[in-house]
Amino acid sequence: MTLKEVTPPVFPSGQLLPNEERIAQLFEKNTYSVVNIFDVTLRPTLNVTGLVEIPEGNGSGVVWDGKGHIVTNFHVIGSALSRKPAEGQVVARVNILASDGVQKNFEGKLVGADRAKDLAVLKIEASEDLLKPINVGQSSFLKVGQQCLAIGNPFGFDHTLTVGVISGLNRDIFSQAGVTIGGGIQTDAAINPGNSGGPLLDSKGNLIGINTAIITQTGTSAGVGFAIPSSTVLKIVPQLIQYGKVVRAGLNVDIAPDLVASQLNVGNGALVLQVPGNSLAAKAGILPTTRGFAGNIILGDIIVAVNNKPVSFSCLSIPSRIYLICAEPNQDHLTCLKSS
């Protein structure tokens, strides 16, 4: 028999199906907006065995704008951040894919980080033609069952695409940064170590979340992954770029634990224990709980509502001033304070 006789006919692949073509185009368009990130404090081990290993300090990120800002997870560069680097200090190496298919390497300088939402922003000095900012979509209109795509660098395999659906909404995410993040997106698109910090896209190719965590007993995807919704990303990232940190509203007062408040005959209100002397709460006139000359406890103020959301309270056996507190989100000052 000849080689020709044992070789089967080869059929042309032909055109992709419409859905396949759409997904392929979405990947080709968005892959240049996804970067590979390495924590500079961790050295990847040289792999001479040919086996797949999980690179330490390896993750993904997205190009945020044409100025070189890169968004990723806090925990992706957590080792470098644990050393409390100054703003502008190099904390990561960032590989970005050029249109010719060549990876370009840049130093990622710290702009700002927020552990509470497991987000961080880096800055690279790259030309504008190399930077392809990702399109940000709206996560507030997501529905369970709609298609989504994840692009990242799982196990160090750069620019890997996985496809799935939104399998849950408003999940509590326990991030590797050691914090719980509310409002998370659950997906069955395969998310593995190295995907952290990469984008979760909707069927139009818009960013709807930053992939951040998986539930697994083996270290690999078990079909349950989570992403920080774009609504949260849009609140945090601009502040990190502008201020280097997240500015959150706060009264800067110490509130009595439930047990202490109960022992003092306080019902459901928030009893103020301490007020720092130079705080905005002190300037607003909020009084702390103190002791009188005879050692008796003099209750401080009780906060009964925040942003017009009332906190119910029972009748108090000891009189105290009661306040309704209103605060503007993302502001350091009280915008209204009135006695009721």
Burial of 321: CB neighbours in 10 Å, binned 0-12, 13-18, 19+: middle
- Of 113, 58, 73, the residue nearest 200 (C-alpha): 73
- The token pair at 10 is 């080869």
Rounded CA-CA distance 46/56 in Å is 12
| CB of 272 closer than 8 Å to CB of 254 | yes
Rounded CA-CA distance 257/260 in Å is 5
- Of 61, 53, 46, the residue nearest 91 (C-alpha): 61
Active-site residues, by number, are 75, 118, 196
| CB of 128 closer than 8 Å to CB of 153 | no
Q: How many CB atoms lie within 10 A of CB 105?
A: 11
